[in-house]
Amino acid sequence: YMSAQAAAGAHMLQLFEAMGEFISPTSFDAIALPRMATIAAALKERHPDVPLMVFPRGASYALPALGKCGFDVLTLDASANWETVRDELPAVCLQGAFDPKLLIDGTEEEVAEGVKTMLDALGGQKLIANLCEGLSGKERPELVDAFVNAVHAYEN
């Protein structure tokens, strides 16, 4: 399916492992990780110029191992420790990390401070500033704007 997406013109692909939070790290390493590595290798062989992202929801402990599987971008969820991830994976492009709950009940100042904290920890380079989860539809548009504006205004 992902190969068909690339063949149809997708500019980037993301592999989701949505069950990571429901299995132990040992089971993840034994069952999910080898299959994800196989998928990454097959996609890279068929579509070497299409960047490949992976989102191991609830399994941020697996990010260092996934960083060795051929994925170009590792997506962070809310469980990821920003400093540890960046220290362990200094050369890897990361995506995500911002808690979308702030876009529901936060203030513009809290959103701006959250963005600064995230970017200070993860660095302004080799990062796709994004949310650590999808939007629920409850987010306030002015706070989404505040997020985008804070990312654009960031200077370290």
pLDDT of residue 83: 86
Tokens of 110: 């809290």
d(CA 134, CA 21): 16
Q: DSSP states of 72-119 as a string?
A: SEEEE-TT--HHHHHHH-TTSEEEEEE-TTHHHH--HHHHHHHHHHHH
Residue-wise pLDDT for 29-60, tens only, equals: 999 999 999 999 999 999 999 999 999 999 99
Catalogue all structural domains in the chain, each as residue range(s) with its CATH number. Answer: 10-150 (3.20.20.210)
Residue-wise pLDDT for 68-81, tens only, equals: 999 999 999 988 99
Listed residue (34, 99, 91) closest to 67, CA to CA: 91
pLDDT band per the 50, 70, 90 thresholds, residue 117: very high
pLDDT of residue 17: 93
- Which residue is listed with tokens 């997506």? 75
Contacts of 53 (CB under 8 A, 6+ apart): 12, 13, 14, 15, 71, 72, 73, 74, 75, 95
* Four-point Cα dihedral 61, 148, 126, 40, nearest 10: 60
